[in-house]
Amino acid sequence: MISISPRLLRKTIPSEIGLLKHLTQLELELNGLSGLFSDELLRSTNLKILNVGYQVFNPWNCTRSDGTYVSVAFSMGDEENEMNLGLKGEILGSRIGDLEYLKELSINDNNFSGEIGSFLHNR
């Protein structure tokens, strides 16, 4: 299981995570991730839970260890104004059908495209 606490990750998810064949849970919600969601991440075919939701519209604030206040609020934006677009790509593309053990999928508040495949109806 990989579970990264809210507000600790930025930018993209390393595609090398897909090499973890025995990974059953990937929970990265509420972090402010952005960029292309590589289908290489879906090589961990034992995944039961994939949660990458809430990467935009993240209203939280935090305090650094030195006491400095940091706003980590994100909102939907575009590349011109350098605001977080969330994760994007075809998360529900052909490779997600290989996740035969998948029981939970959370991808809300991102910028994904594609259609939900018929494989989800049998889960």
Find how far residue 114's CA is from the centre of its chain. 16
Give the residue numbers spanning the domain of 7: 2-122
The list of the chain residues with pLDDT below 70 reads 5, 7, 57-63, 69-84, 92-94, 116-123
Total count of domains within the chain: 1
pLDDT given for residue 76 in this prediction: 47
CA distance 13 to 28: 9
pLDDT given for residue 75 in this prediction: 47
CA distance 112 to 24: 22
pLDDT given for residue 61 in this prediction: 59
Edge-to-edge order in the sheet of strand 2-3: 2-3, 25-27, 49-51, 104-106
The tokens 């952005």 sit on which residue? 34
* CA distance readout (Å), 5 to 18, 28, 40, 94: 20, 7, 23, 29
Q: Is 40 helix (H, G, I), strand (E, B) or coil?
A: helix
